[in-house]
């Protein structure tokens, strides 16, 4: 999709009602404030500095309010194994995330990101190639294979994005990224 092997974008993966339920629940959970953007970690804490998941950072199972969507990802055949880690990212206007490839030894092949609240443009890059992808609320972005391992993904820190039909003024966006942790044996 979009000329990138292993990338799948599914608009309107969840209903408006499910979107509302998830956002409302996210908003009453405690936030971590150690990064410029606020985050919530479930299942395992990801250590951004060390770029690793330590088995001692196991927080427990995913919370019950994430079970329906985590189960749906498996029953729809989008994740081969149930995710055991989820990170919620909040981006206010002007915030983003640096171009990166998700930690290879930490997480399985499939990375799945659910978008909530306002839309944003994500950039995927590989050498000289660059693809801009509009992530709309309720949509799902799946990265596996080349898209996961060969392309970086990131959200530029800016207040507006250029889109086909004009300019998108950024507003608060929230994402929930689901992963399966690989624990070194
Ligand atoms: O916000 C997103 O959709 C992507 C988040 C992400 O790339 C990450 O948490 O590593």
pLDDT of 185 higher than 80 = no
Quick: pLDDT tens for 54-97: 888 999 999 999 999 999 999 999 999 999 999 999 999 999 99
Using a 6 Å cutoff on CB, does residue 89 contact ligand 1? yes
Domains and CATH numbers, the chain: 7-179 (2.60.120.1520)
Flag the least confident range among 48-57, 107-116, 131-140: 48-57
Write down the pTM of the prediction: 0.97
Q: How far apart are CA 111 and CA 177, in angstroms?
A: 7
From ligand 1's centre to the CA of 141, what distance in Å? 10
Residue 169 has pLDDT above 80, yes or no: yes
- Sign of the dihedral through C-alpha 45, 49, 53, 54: negative
Distance between Cα 107 and ligand 1 center (Å): 13
Contacts of 19 (CB under 8 A, 6+ apart): 116, 137, 138
Q: What is the mean pLDDT of residues 20-44?
A: 97
Q: If pLDDT is split at 50, 70 and 90, which confidence band does 123 have?
A: very high
Stretch 35-57: mean pLDDT: 94
The whole-angstrom separation of Cα 168 and Cα 51 is 32
């Amino acid at each position: 999709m979009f000329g990138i092997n292993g990338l799948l974008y599914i608009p309107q993966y969840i209903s408006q009602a499910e979107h509302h339920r998830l956002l409302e629940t996210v908003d009453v959970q405690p936030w971590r404030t150690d990064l410029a953007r606020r985050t919530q970690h479930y299942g395992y804490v990801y250590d951004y500095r060390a770029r690793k998941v330590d088995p001692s950072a196991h927080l427990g199972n995913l919370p019950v309010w994430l079970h329906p969507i985590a189960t749906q990802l498996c029953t729809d055949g989008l994740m081969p194994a149930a995710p055991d880690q989820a990170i919620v990212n909040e981006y206010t206007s002007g915030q983003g995330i640096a171009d990166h490839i998700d930690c290879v030894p930490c997480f399985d092949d499939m990375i799945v990101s659910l978008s909530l609240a306002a839309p944003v443009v994500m950039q995927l890059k590989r050498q000289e190639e660059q693809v801009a992808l509009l992530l709309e609320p309720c949509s799902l972005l799946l990265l596996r294979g080349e898209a996961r391992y060969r392309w970086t993904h990131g959200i530029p820190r800016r207040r507006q994005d250029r889109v086909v039909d004009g300019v998108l003024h950024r507003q608060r966006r929230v994402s929930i990224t689901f992963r399966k942790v690989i624990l070194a044996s």
